[in-house]
Amino acid sequence: MRQAKTIVWPGGEHDFMLNIGELRALEQRTNAGAFVTMTRLITSQWKIDDVVATIRLGLIGGGMLERDAKALVDTTLELASPYTLAVTAAHILEFSLMWDANDKPGEPVAGEGNQTQTRSPTE
């Protein structure tokens, strides 16, 4: 299972993740596919529910209780511009949709990964 990503945003520093259940809920809430929602966010053609639902569901997918996620998003909407939050929402969707299955956090373990061995011309 993929791990949540910690993001610093106007609401603080929290873990976010959109797993399949959250992505399906987002698609219902925004009446669009997840990539369509991400495109709207990136191109500044978003609806407020694109922003709010993405962040709220991302917090839930990251481990926060639903009521706490709703309260935090509501409070943050009073403190930050919707545009600033749209950038956060786009980041959450990008991370959740375009993750690299081979990308592992931390330093690579010796002997792992794509190591290319080179030979000197005399070998």
Q: Which residue has the higher pLDDT, 123 or 98?
A: 98
Placement of tokens 């990251």 in the chain: 62
Contact 92, 16 (CB under 8 A): yes
Contact 43, 86 (CB under 8 A): no
Placement of tokens 């639903």 in the chain: 66
Contact 46, 1 (CB under 8 A): no
Give the model confidence (pLDDT) of 43-96 as tens digits: 999 999 999 999 999 999 999 999 999 999 999 999 999 999 999 999 999 999
Nearest in space to 29 (alpha carbons), one of 59, 52, 46, 4: 52
